[in-house]
Structure 1
Amino acid sequence: MKRLLLTLTLLLSLPFAASAADDSVRIPLKDVSETAKFYKHDEGGVTVKYFLIKAPDGTVRVALDACDVCYPEKKGYKQQGEFMVCVNCGMKFHVSRVSLVKGGCNPHPVASKVEGDMVVIPKAELAAGVKYFK
C-alpha cells in the first residue's frame, strides 16, 4: 500500500505537457483546477518550473515553482488544501494570493491571460524566471 501511495504521489508531481507557440505557452483552461498542476519549460537549456491553480474565486493563478528567498534550495512548492507550501521553509500561502503577492517566500508571479479556452503565458515571462533555476 505504501508503495502504491508513493507511486501515485510521484505521478501526481510530474509536470504536465503544455503546447508552445512561437512566443507563448498555451494550456487548456479545462486542465486548470483547484489542484495545482506543475509544468516545465526549457529556456536556453535551463528548465523553468511553474504551476497553475484555480483560486476560490475562479481565477487562474500562475507562478514559478520557486520564490525570491528559498530558490537556491531548488525544492519548490507542494499543495496542502487551499495552500501552497514552500517545501524548504514550510511557509504557507493561500492560493488566492498566488500571482498577486510578490517577494519573500511567496511563489514568484508569472503574468498570464485567458484567451477563449486557453491560458496563455508569454515565454518572456518564463524566460525571466531562469535565474531561479540555474
Structure 2
Amino acid sequence: MKKSRKLNFTIIAAIIVVLTGIFIFKFAINDSKNSVELADIVISKSQITDKVTFYPVKVGKTNMEVLAVKASDGTIRTAFNTCQVCNGSPRAYYKQEGDTIVCQNCGNRFSLDMIEQQRGGCNPIPIYRENRNEDAENIIISKELIENNKGLFTANWKTK
C-alpha cells in the first residue's frame, strides 16, 4: 500500500512538472509573438489614396500611430495621429469623415490637404519630407523618428 501511494505521488508530481513546463513554454511563445521589435514603417506609395491609412506602432508600452493620405494635389502626406492641443486625452486621435479628419476629443475638423502643412494647434503632428526617407515606391519613417516622438502619445491614448 505504501509503495502504491508513493508511486501515485510520483506520477502526480511528474504530471505537475510536465504541465508547468508546458504552461511556461506556451507563455514564452505567446509573449514573443506579442512583442514585436520596433522597426521602420514602410509605406507603399501605390497603396495610398484619398482614404487615410493608419499605421499602428508600439514603442515599449506606448501605442502610437502614423497616418498617410493622398492630398488633392497628388502628394502623399504623413503625420502622427495625435495633436498637441488634445494630447493627454485618450481620444486625442483622428478619424476621416469625407475630405476632412476629425479630432475624436474636441471635434475639430481638419482638411486632408492641410495634413503635413502646419504644426501646432489641433491638427495631426506632421512628419515632413526632410524627416522621412523616400524613393519611387516607398516612404520610410525611421524607427529612430518614431522613438523620438513617443512623448507625443500618452499611456492611455486611444483607450476610450
Question: Structure 1 or 2: larger strand share?
Answer: 1
Give the alignment of 1:52-67 within 5 angstroms: 52-67=68-83
Determine the C-alpha separation between the residues in 1 that align with 2:85 and 2:98.
23
Q: Which residue of 2 aligns with 1:121?
A: 141
Distance 1:93 1:66 in 2: 12
Q: Is the 8 A contact 2:38 2:58 kept in 1?
A: no
TM-score under structure 2 length normalisation: 0.65
Paired position in structure 1 for 2:7:
none
Supply the RMSD in Å over aligned alpha carbons. 1.9
Q: Size of the alignment, in residue pairs?
A: 114
2: distance between equivalents of 1:68 and 1:59? 24
2:100 alignment partner, one of 83, 88, 92: 83
How far apart, CA to CA, are the structure 1 residues paired with 2:134 and 2:98? 24
Conserved? CA contact 1:82–1:94, under 8 Å: yes
Residue type of the partner of 1:88? N
Q: Whose helix proportion is higher, 1 or 2?
A: 2
Tell me the distance in 1 between the aligned counterparts of 2:149 and 2:38. Answer: 18
Who wins on radius of gyration, i.e. which is larger? 2
Residue type of the alignment partner of 2:107: G
2-side partners of 1:42 and 1:21: how far apart? 7
CA–CA distance in structure 2, aligned partners of residues 37 and 124 of structure 1:
21
Structure 1 gaps, min length 5: 1-19
Q: Give the Å deviation of 1:100.
A: 1.4
Per the alignment, do residues 95 and 44 of structure 1 end up closer, same or farther by CA in structure 2, a change over 3 Å counting?
A: same
Does the 8 Å contact 2:100/2:112 carry over to 1?
yes
Percent identity, please: 29
The alpha carbon displacement at 1:80 in A equals 1.1
Q: Which moved more, 1:66-75 or 1:113-122?
A: 113-122
Secondary structure of residue in 2 paired with 1:30: helix
Task: For residue 88 of structure 2, give the secondary structure of its aligned residue in structure 1.
Answer: helix
1:132, distance to aligned residue in structure 2 (A): 2.2
Cα displacement (A) at 1:40: 1.1
- The gaps in structure 2 that reach 5 residues or longer are 1-36, 155-160
Superposed displacement of residue 52, structure 1: 0.6
Question: Aligned to 1:72, what secondary structure does the other structure show?
Answer: coil
Query: TM-score if structure 1 supplies the norm length?
Result: 0.76
Q: C-alpha offsets along residues 105-128 of structure 1, whole Å, 9 cap, x if unaligned?
A: 011112334312111112222223
